[in-house]
Every structure is written in structure tokens, then in C-alpha cells.
Chains A and B, each alone.
Chain A
Amino acid sequence: MWLFLGSECLLFGGLISTYMLYRGRVGTGPTPSQVFDIPFTSVSSFVLLMSSLTMVFAVSAAAKKDNRATSLWLTVTALLGATFVGGQVYEFAAFMSEGLGFTTSLFGSSFYVLTGFHGVHVTVGIIMLMAMVGILQRSEVPGEMSETIEMIGLYWHFVDVVWIIIFTLIYLIPA
């Protein structure tokens, strides 16, 4: 998982570089400051950050072989992640109604590609979390369970760290 995450660093690095290059190219479309709602996105970011905390609880429960607690914390993590994704979807819909579409400008394209890729990664993470819950409920986990949860945890934390970087670079640092 560490190796995979290493390669993912390069993936997001490329997407972030593209965004940083293109973020000022707004053409006739809206500028970042015109569409971004920093308070809203901050809350969303906080939710994702908390989901990393609950992930830690899940990993800890798995290490103690407490299946019930593991399932509980995995579900909470997934719910928080889903809240984040929901927030992203709402945000995208708002931006589109304000005139920032995928093809409106280079800023729009690179913004949606970067945050979209991130959102897809979160979604895949949620699927993994719920799949894990399903497996825990019904049958045995192939292999060492706490190891698997730990790996999912690594992935989840990575996705969160990437979001911190994205949030900082896109939203917080003015162009």
C-alpha cells in the first residue's frame, strides 16, 4: 500500500501542477474568488479530517480483534466520507449554476479534474470501507484482518492528506 500511495503522490502531483498552471486562466468565466465558498468547504474539510480520526479508531479496534467496534467505526468513517463527497457534489452543482462548467475555462477544467479525481478516490475508499464492513458481518476475512484494516486506513489517511494539500492550494492561497 505504501508503494501504491507513493505512485499516487505523483498522480496528484501532476494534477496539482496542472491546476497551479491554469488557475488564473479564467477566460470569460468566473474567477476562483467569485465561486469559492471558503466557510462551506472548510466545514467539509473538517468532516473529512474527522473521518481520519474515526479511521484510527477502527484500526485500533481491529488490532484488539473487536469486530463490532471495527464495523462501527468503519461505518462512521464511511458516513463522514460520504458527507464530504455529498458536500463536493453540492459545491460542484453550485459552481455550475454560477457559470463554472467543465469546459468554461482552463480554470474550470483543471479544478474539476483535480477535485474530481480526489472525489473518486474518496468514493473508492468508501466502497472499500463498506465492503470491509460487509465482510466482517458475514464471513471471515481472508488473511490477517487487522492488517487489511490498517492498509485501508493508510489509503484513507492518504486521501485526507491530499485533500489538505488541495484545500490549501486551491481555496486558501489566493491566486
Chain B
Amino acid sequence: MASIERSAAQVAVPLVSAPVTPASTFGALRRPVSTTGWKSWVFTVDHKKIGIMYGATAMFFFIVGGIEALLIRLQLAAPNGKILNADIYNQMFTMHATTMVFLFVMPMAAAFANYFVPLQIGARDVAFPRLNAFGFWAFLSGGIFINLSWFLGGAADGGWFMYAPNSGPIFSPTHGVDFWSLGLQITGIASLTGAINLIVTVLNMRAPGMSLMRMPIFTWMTLVVQFLLLFAIPIITVALFLLMFQRSFGATFFDVSAGGDPLLWQHLFWLFGHPEVYVLILPSFGIVSEVLPVFSRKPLFGYPFVVFSGAAIGFVGWGVWAHHMFASGLGPISVAVFSITTMAIAIPTGVKIVNWTLTLWGGKLWFTTAMKFSIGLIVMFTIGGLSGVTHSVAPSDTQQTDTYYIVAHLHYVLFGGSVLGLFSGFYYWWPKVFGKMLSERLGSWNFWLMVIGLNLTFGPMHILGLQGQPRRMYIWTEARAGEGFFNFGFWNLVSSIGAFIIAFGVLLFLINVVQTTRKGVAAPLDPWDARSIEWMTTNPPKEHNFDVIPTVHHLDEFFHLKYAEDANGVLVKTSTAEEIMAAQEANADKHIHMPSPSYWPLVLALGLPITAYGVIFSIPIAVFGGVIILFGAFGWALEPSIAKDTDFDPPASNNGSSKEVVPVG
């Protein structure tokens, strides 16, 4: 059930911390009540803490995936590379892509969504806070589970799209693919529950006056993404189950000799896979749509067009999946149809690019790092989109498919699109989340190194692809390298150097984070003179987000609270952020009920990898994992979402003025 805020006898007194002694609160099924320390993170249901955990974990996996990429580029920097043998190379590119897609971009977008969607709609948390926590722990355990394969016989080696028959037991005899498919099932559960949570939150918990067309674009794009996930995850779930039954229980779903059809896997995978790529890019589009207006000092141009084009991308994205299969023998009619739909989907994206450009046009531009990254996205994603349009032309795709030309396209849209957008979000929202400003100087270096690096790494891949360098080949030779301007040697080397430049840029970001944490400048409440209501909070926001739930009268409500037009139609500042906050605090709600922390999401999430491990190695372990899941599910269902007074120590009195009551979590 939704944890709905209702006035009750319990008063949150934010500044008083009563001693809560663990001893008497830890009965077998008593709930956790810590407000500080590691327990306050591990058992939290607060969307902000969960968002930070998602972000930190995703950043860790970004580095893991980045190292995997660097190893690939080291191997390909010169002919006859000796860094990785063929088998390890297969594992490397499989895990690089799997990690980047499922363990970095998706969770990082989830981090932003978890942290900011409730704040942007004026809510105090999401609809199902324990489900939110569960989603994080399931993601973490799934991510660790997939990567365990490195240490337990070898990682998955069939490519991130895991085509049959390569994925079957004959060609992938180690357990890598089993870890991969079961691990992705676990992270899939996290995505699915997150999707249900955020959709219900956005549809049901918006502040008074916030109609759908007054929501910030980031929230809109997140909403579209959750619907995409809701319908796409079950499809890959089916595919992964069929694969698991084939590998672990002898079914022959994709085994040609038994009458199976490898194309079934391809269809199922890409029916998921294409909406998935919109899942990867739309959050970054949302971030850019927030950042550009703020740093252009202008409202977003064509807000309804940006909203509807996002929804259109979501819809049309379901009708293009077989453009990943143009060379698989579908036949001319299917190919022609999907070619046309793929061209069609470039249109709504183009609408966004136009709207962003027109937002910049005539604005008073302020080139902060966040702004640079957002403008970078516009340029780099457009390049990636152009190569994408060339793929939509099926005859030319027949040459391009399975070559580095595709690798160039996908990295321009994913790195130049998704990643640059996420970094824009980091620099934009860091002051709100952590209370400090990231260094703009280091940020500038971070930006330029990443952009120059990305162009040096992925630009030449267009050439390499058209010259015939295939994907997923662990080695290239002098004989194949060709001569003249377009030879493999020079451009592979440039690409590898570019990869290390990117790595250096990322390193500078991490240094920026560490330095800022140690001795960064404390951030003002509203450093960017922003427009949306997540900025109408303290740095970082209080546990209950808003002292008073705002009533929203406009799109860009925060901006309208700060500025008004005077008699001559000139914008003048009527309040500062500090004044608005002070007014909020003066009128603070007296009875705020926040959902309480809980063990059960963690228990349930831990049951999943145990069950998965058992499916691979030993059925009794799987049964044991199943018991934990059942136990966790019942414990969860029977626990009220808000702690009873007797769960506290000392037990809270019910008269509402007790200073011993601590806001839990």
C-alpha cells in the first residue's frame, strides 16, 4: 500500500535526537530504528538515500565497465594484439556492454529518478518506499551476482545480446551465461518494481495544482521510461527463462538440430532491446531539458512538444525492433516496414533537438559545466543519430551491420548522449544533494577531455567499420589492415588513445568529487537560479523534503515564486530562495508521518541471488533461497509501513509532544 502521509499523533522533531538503544529494539521481528550510521543506510526507505546508493553503485560499475573497455582498446591498439586471448576478449566485450547498460546507465538514471522525481512533484517520498529499497538491493545483488562469474569459471561470452546458438551449452560451456541470465533476471525484477513504484508515485502523489502538464520534463521523461520498462522487462524475462531452461534443464528452445529457432531469441531480445535503448537515453534527455533552460535564463521552448515527442518516442520505439535483424533473413517486406518505422522514429527526436536549440537561441547563456555537458549531448547525440539514420536504410545497413560503424553509432548515442547527460546532471544537482559545489575548473577539464576523448575514440570507428573491421573480433592483422588513409592501424591506435583520454577525464571527475567532499565550497540554496521545485528545499533536503507541500500554480513554479513581471512587463526578482525557504519553515506542517525503515526489502533481495546460485549449482540451495524469499515476503506484508510507537526505544508516547520521538531513518 502507498505510504500516504496522514496527520497522526507522532510529531517529527527534526533537531532532537533521542538515544535509541539497539538492545531492546532488536527482537526477531522488531524493525530497525537507527537514524545514523551504516544501519540508517542499509535499512533505509528514504528515496534520497536510496538514490545516492544507486548512484554510488552505478559509478562503481561505470569504472568496472570502463576498465573492461580499456582492456579491449589495448588489445586492438596494434595488430596481433597479445593483451587478451580470444576467449577472454569475448568475455570482456560481453561484460563491458552488460555492465554499462544494465549496471551503470540504468541504475544511474534510477538514482536521479529516485532522488528527484518525488522532489520535483512536491512529494515526500515515493508511493512504495520499501519496494524502492528492495529495488536497490536487488540491483546490487544482481550486479554482484553477474560479476561473480569472473571468479567462478569465466564470465558470459556471447555478447550482451547473447544470440543463440552461441549462448547454448555447446558454445558457452562455462557457467558465465548462467550467471548472466540469472543476474539479469534479478536486476530485471528491480527495474520492474521500480517502474511500478514511480508510475504510481507520479500519477498519484503530485502536489496540489501540479497537473501533468506542469511537471518538469525530467519527471515526464522518467514516467515514459517507467512505462517502457514495465512492458519491456517481461519480454526479456521470457527470453532469459527460455535460455535458462535450455542451459540448465535440457530444453531445446534455440537448438536448431531439435527444431528450435534461433530467431525466436533475437525477436524476444530485441523486442525488449529496442525499447531498452530509449530507456537508456530518455532520462538524459530529461536532464538536458532541465539544465538548458536554467543556464539560458529562458523557459524551455515548446514544452508540450518536448513532452509529446518523448511519449511518441516511447510508443514508436516498440515498432522498430527488427532493425537489429536486417541481416537475419527476415525477408524484404519485414525489412522494408521496419526500415520505414526506424526512419519515422528519428522525427520525435529531431523535434527535441529543435526545441533545445530554440531554448538556447536568444538566451543569456551561462556556460557552467552542467551546461557544457548538455550542449555536448545535443551535438554528440545528433552525430550518433545521423549514423543511426543511415542504419535505417536497410541496404546500407547490410554493409554496416556487425561492423565498427555500428559500434561508432551506439557509442555516440550512449556515451555522447546518455553519459554526457548524466554528467550534466551530476554537476547541476550536486549542490542540492551534497551541499557543495563541484569545482567548475576541474569540471571544465572533465568535460573537454571526455568530449575530445569520445570523438577520438568513436569517430574513427565510422571509418574502421566502413573499411570492414567486424565487431567482436579479438585481433586484427597487418594483412587485413589495408593501406592509405583508411588503414586499420592508424585509426585503431587513435581510437585506443582516445579511450585513455576519456579515462583521464573520468578520473578528473572522481578527483573533483573527492576534493569537493573534503574541502568544497558550501553551496547556496539556489546556486543556479533554477526553475523547478526540487530547489525549494534545503541542501540536502530534509528527510521529509518539504516543510509545507507547495501548491503549484505554474510550470516552473519555483521560478514564478522568485520572479514576477512589473508594470512594464520586465522581470523583477520578488523573492530569493532563502526567503521562500524561510516562509516554508515558518508555516511548517506539524504532523508529518514518514515511512519507517525496514529489514524486509534487504532480506527479500538477498534471497534472490541465493536462489539463482542454487539454480546453477545445487537445487537444495535454490529451495533454501526460495524459503528466504517467502519468509521475506510474509515479513514485509505483515509489517505496517509506519512503525508503531512500541517499536521505538523508549517507546514513543502518543501525545504528540514527546521529545524522545526521533524521526526514524
Q: Which residues of B contact A18 (CB under 8 A)?
A: 238, 242, 253, 264, 268
Interface of A is mostly: helix
**A103 touching B250 in the complex, CB below 8 Å, given contacts A4-B196, A14-B235, A27-B258:** yes
Asked if A106 and B253 make an inter-chain contact with CB atoms under 8 angstroms apart, the answer reads: yes
Chain A to chain B contacts (Cβ below 8 Å), 26 pairs: A3-B196, A3-B230, A7-B192, A7-B234, A10-B231, A10-B235, A11-B235, A15-B238, A18-B264, A21-B261, A22-B253, A22-B261, A25-B259, A102-B250, A102-B251, A103-B252, A105-B258, A106-B260, A110-B253, A131-B634, A135-B638, A142-B640, A142-B641, A143-B641, A144-B1, A148-B1
Asked if A3 and B250 make an inter-chain contact with CB atoms under 8 angstroms apart, the answer reads: no
CA distance A55 to B235 in the complex (A): 29
Given contacts A11-B237, A135-B638, 14 further A-B contacts (CB under 8 A): A3-B196, A7-B230, A7-B234, A10-B231, A10-B232, A13-B235, A14-B235, A18-B242, A21-B261, A27-B258, A106-B253, A106-B260, A113-B251, A147-B1
CA distance A11 to B112 in the complex (A): 28
Asked if B251 and A103 make an inter-chain contact with CB atoms under 8 angstroms apart, the answer reads: yes
Nearest 10 Cβ contacts at the A-B interface = A14-B238, A11-B234, A143-B1, A10-B234, A109-B251, A25-B259, A103-B250, A142-B640, A3-B196, A7-B230
CA distance A109 to B252 in the complex (A): 8
Q: How many A-B residue pairs have CB under 8 A?
A: 86
A124 to chain B minimum Cβ distance, whole angstroms, is: 10
Mark B240-276 against chain A: 1 for CB-CB distance below 8 A, else 0.
Answer: 0110010001111100001111001000100100000
**Does B605 lie at the interface of the complex (its beta carbon under 8 Å from any beta carbon of A)?**
no
**A113 touching B242 in the complex, CB below 8 Å, given contacts A106-B253, A142-B1, A147-B1:** yes
CA distance A9 to B238 in the complex (A): 12
**Which of A10, A15, A106 interacts with B252 by CB under 8 Å?**
A106
Q: Which residues of B contact A102 (CB under 8 A)?
A: 249-251
CA distance A155 to B335 in the complex (A): 39
Asked if B253 and A109 make an inter-chain contact with CB atoms under 8 angstroms apart, the answer reads: yes
A88 to chain B minimum Cβ distance, whole angstroms, is: 18
Q: Which residues of A contact B242 (CB under 8 A)?
A: 18, 113
**Does A8 lie at the interface of the complex (its beta carbon under 8 Å from any beta carbon of B)?**
yes
Measured CB to CB, the nearest residue on chain A to B2 is A143
CA distance A103 to B245 in the complex (A): 10
A63-77 with Cβ < 8 A to chain B:
none
**Does B199 lie at the interface of the complex (its beta carbon under 8 Å from any beta carbon of A)?**
yes
**Does A6 lie at the interface of the complex (its beta carbon under 8 Å from any beta carbon of B)?**
yes
CA distance A3 to B237 in the complex (A): 17
Asked if B250 and A14 make an inter-chain contact with CB atoms under 8 angstroms apart, the answer reads: no
Asked if B195 and A3 make an inter-chain contact with CB atoms under 8 angstroms apart, the answer reads: yes
CA distance A7 to B192 in the complex (A): 8
**Does B233 lie at the interface of the complex (its beta carbon under 8 Å from any beta carbon of A)?**
yes
CA distance A68 to B238 in the complex (A): 40
**Does B586 lie at the interface of the complex (its beta carbon under 8 Å from any beta carbon of A)?**
no
Q: Which residues of B contact A135 (CB under 8 A)?
A: 638
**Does B375 lie at the interface of the complex (its beta carbon under 8 Å from any beta carbon of A)?**
no
A106 to chain B minimum Cβ distance, whole angstroms, is: 5
CA distance A14 to B267 in the complex (A): 10
Asked if B230 and A6 make an inter-chain contact with CB atoms under 8 angstroms apart, the answer reads: yes
**Does B479 lie at the interface of the complex (its beta carbon under 8 Å from any beta carbon of A)?**
no
CA distance A14 to B321 in the complex (A): 15
Asked if A7 and B250 make an inter-chain contact with CB atoms under 8 angstroms apart, the answer reads: no
Asked if B1 and A14 make an inter-chain contact with CB atoms under 8 angstroms apart, the answer reads: no
B243 to chain A minimum Cβ distance, whole angstroms, is: 12
**Does B23 lie at the interface of the complex (its beta carbon under 8 Å from any beta carbon of A)?**
no
A120-146 with Cβ < 8 A to chain B:
131, 135, 142-144
**A3 touching B1 in the complex, CB below 8 Å, given contacts A14-B234, A103-B252:** no
Asked if B200 and A3 make an inter-chain contact with CB atoms under 8 angstroms apart, the answer reads: yes
A89-118 with Cβ < 8 A to chain B:
102-103, 105-106, 109-110, 113
Q: Which residues of B contact A15 (CB under 8 A)?
A: 238
Q: Which residues of A contact B433 (CB under 8 A)?
A: none
CA distance A6 to B196 in the complex (A): 10
Q: Which residues of B contact A14 (CB under 8 A)?
A: 234-235, 237-239, 268, 271
A58 to chain B minimum Cβ distance, whole angstroms, is: 18
Q: Which residues of A contact B641 (CB under 8 A)?
A: 142-143
Q: Which residues of A contact B170 (CB under 8 A)?
A: none
**Does B570 lie at the interface of the complex (its beta carbon under 8 Å from any beta carbon of A)?**
no
A145 to chain B minimum Cβ distance, whole angstroms, is: 11
A79 to chain B minimum Cβ distance, whole angstroms, is: 21
Q: Which residues of A contact B249 (CB under 8 A)?
A: 102-103
Q: Which of B196, B199, B238, B637 has the most CB of A within 10 A?
A: B238
Q: Which residues of A contact B230 (CB under 8 A)?
A: 3, 6-7
Q: Which of B195, B230, B252 has the most CB of A within 10 A?
A: B252
CA distance A18 to B235 in the complex (A): 11
CA distance A135 to B636 in the complex (A): 13
CA distance A113 to B242 in the complex (A): 8
Measured CB to CB, the nearest residue on chain B to A14 is B238
Q: Which residues of A contact B638 (CB under 8 A)?
A: 135, 142
CA distance A34 to B363 in the complex (A): 74
Measured CB to CB, the nearest residue on chain A to B192 is A7
Q: Which residues of A contact B271 (CB under 8 A)?
A: 14
Asked if A109 and B259 make an inter-chain contact with CB atoms under 8 angstroms apart, the answer reads: no
Q: Which residues of B contact A110 (CB under 8 A)?
A: 253
B580-638 with Cβ < 8 A to chain A:
634, 637-638
Q: Which residues of B contact A142 (CB under 8 A)?
A: 1, 638-641
Asked if B231 and A113 make an inter-chain contact with CB atoms under 8 angstroms apart, the answer reads: no
B140-180 with Cβ < 8 A to chain A:
none
Mark B206-248 against chain A: 1 for CB-CB distance below 8 A, else 0.
Answer: 0000000000000000000000001111110111011001000
Mark B180-198 against chain A: 1 for CB-CB distance below 8 A, else 0.
Answer: 0000000000001001100
A120 to chain B minimum Cβ distance, whole angstroms, is: 11
